[in-house]
Amino acid sequence: MLRLWNTLSREKEPLPDRKELRLFVCGPTVNDYAHIGHARTYIFFDFLARYLRARGRDVFYLQNITNIDDKIIRRAAEEGKKAADVADFFMEAYLADMAALGIGMSADGKEKAEKIIYAPATKFIPQIAAQVERLAQKGFAYRIEGDGWYFDIAKFAGYGKLSGRTALQAEDSVSRIDESVGKRNKGDFCLWKFSKPGEPEWPAPQIGAGRPGWHIEDTAISEFYFGPQYEIHGGGVDLKFPHHEAEIAQQESASGKAPFVRIWMHTGALLVDGRKMSKSLGNFVTIRGFLEKYGANVLRWIALTHHYRSPIDYTEESAAQAAHTLDGIANFLAKLEFLAEGTRAGTPEPLKPLEEAEEKLEDDLNVPQALAGALAFASELQPALWNIPREEAAAALSQFRRFFGMFGFDFAPPPEIPENARKLAAERDEFRGNKQFDKADALRRKINGLGFDIEDTPKGPFLWPQPKNHN
């Protein structure tokens, strides 16, 4: 039975017994291009949705996009642009990056089978304003003239239950908490900001024109689609406090219902060369920069071969290593395809080692162990690979493809071998048959020159593109 670590209960728990699982994941703030840290988090939740769907659940995957925020306003001011234009530009870029990573796509990238609903904050202003108004009516929110509406954390007894901080400890923290001289408690956070001159604002008759604070969009959007309670909330560990704590306070106060969310899931941070990514350190790797060099599978491999709750220390070396491993898998699949000679697998018997590898997922999604199990099984098959009968090769191929597809890896069919390379390989085979090895070797070099390696097998020559140098 699948059990997931719940940050809230600090235990592994079974999934709620419900066919439809509602999953909300915090989306990005679109003030810049998305980086590989974002990719780590979103590849993982893409896998989670795929896996739950493969196990027969209907997953309603919802993600907000913070398209109005101080950071966006600041960037727009620096560049002399409108905040909305900056946000629109980077939101489009984000969606394109997600598509390039195969996120929300079927394994072959053709269909949006793993659909995600993206909800930009500015499309939900009436819902946001209404939630702030409700919090004010119930006495949880107060107004500071000229500044905005704030949540009074002293009014919500459960404040701190997710992160393990008390309201008093929250007093120490100023991390991403808006400051205002008029706040009742230091940890109070802003729900709605009255805009300064030149800043974007939206009309809101009951609470006064302004713009949303950072935390309120998530609960207004999730309440709109899911209602006041749902099954799974995800995000990076950096959001546990204060962001997710604020979400709980907002939604449980607004609805009077608890728990707001059954299972809270947090991904570990991705670091680059042991440090937090930042422009000033020069170690900021965007998704598109990464994809210029490596394929989407490489980033997916890096993300998924670390347990989702562990940090990842990214280095160029780890990308080259991942690319090498993936080349090996593609080569293995191509050999099975070569051996299958076009035979289609019927409904093959499950392969025990792959089943055992898949079982590792039951324990809080141990993807690294599941993938390691599949690789170990592939290695075991290697020595006697060329003796596998055609039907067995076809069955193994379909099962390995299904297995890797479950994680969202896309192993394209083996490349077409060009006619000239195939002809040379056939001629070389004849020379070998006649023991004319010098001539055979000369043809091997020619084939290499065309960019292919050649392996002699009992089933004839197997050609494979020479590995790219990933350094």
Which residues of this protein are in contact with ligand AMP, per CB under 6 A? 26, 28-29, 37-38, 40-41, 235-236, 238-239, 267, 269-270, 277
Residue pair 338/417 in contact by the 8 Å Cβ criterion: no
In angstroms, the CA 173 to CA 436 distance is: 78
Q: Is 171 exposed, middle or buried, given 0-12, 13-18 or 19+ CB atoms closer than 10 A?
A: middle
Q: Least distance (Å) from ligand AMP to the CB of residue 6?
A: 17
The distance of closest approach from Cβ of residue 41 to ligand AMP in the complex, given in angstroms and rounded to an integer, is 4
Q: Which residues touch 141 (CB under 8 Å, ≥6 apart)?
A: 132, 135, 149, 150, 151, 152, 191
**C-alpha neighbours within 13 Å on the C-beta side of residue 182:** 12
Residue closer to ligand AMP by CB (options 307, 428) is 307
Q: How far is the CB of 42 from ligand AMP (least distance, A)?
A: 7
210 vs 234, beta carbon nearer ligand AMP: 234
Nearer to ligand AMP, 194 or 308 (CB): 308
Residue 304 or 378: which CB sits closer to ligand AMP? 304
Q: Write down the least CB distance from residue 269 to ligand AMP, Å.
A: 4
Give per-residue burial for 295-322: e unless 16+ CB within 10 Å, then b.
bbbbbbbbbbbbbbeeebebeeebbbbb
Closest separation between CB of residue 213 and ligand AMP, Å?
A: 14
Among residues 14, 45, 102, which one has the least CA distance to residue 266? 45
State how beta strands 11-14 and 3-6 pair. Answer: antiparallel
Q: At what angle do helices 296-304 and 36-54 cross, to 10 degrees?
A: 80
Query: Residue 45 CB, nearest distance to ligand AMP (Å)?
Result: 9
Q: With beta carbons less than 8 A apart as the criterion, state whether 29 and 72 touch.
A: yes
**Euclidean distance between CA atoms 436 and 440, whole angstroms:** 6
User: Cα separations (Å) of 374 from 218, 332, 333, 352, 383?
Assistant: 38, 12, 12, 11, 16
Closest CB to ligand AMP among residues 178, 429 = 178
- Min dist CB 237 to ligand AMP, Å, is 7
The residues, any chain, with a CB within 8 Å of residue 202's CB and separated by 6 or more, are: 122, 125, 129, 209, 210, 211
181 vs 148: CA distance, rounded Å = 12
Pick between residue 250 and residue 253 the one whose CB is nearest to ligand AMP.
250
Q: Which residue is nearest to ligand AMP (CB)?
A: 236
- The least distance separating ligand AMP from the CB of residue 29, rounded to whole angstroms, comes to 4
Cβ-based nearer residue to ligand AMP, 148 or 236: 236
For 231, half-sphere exposure in the C-beta direction (CA atoms, 13 angstrom radius) is 20
Judged by beta carbon, residue 234 or residue 408, the one nearer ligand AMP is 234
In the complex, minimum distance from the CB of residue 66 to ligand AMP, in angstroms, rounded to a whole number? 6
Q: Which residues pair with 78 in a beta bridge?
A: none
Query: Are 131 and 250 in contact, with CB atoms under 8 Å apart?
Result: yes
Q: Which CB atom, from 28 or from 148, has the smaller least distance to ligand AMP?
A: 28
Tell me the two tokens of residue 136: 């004010």
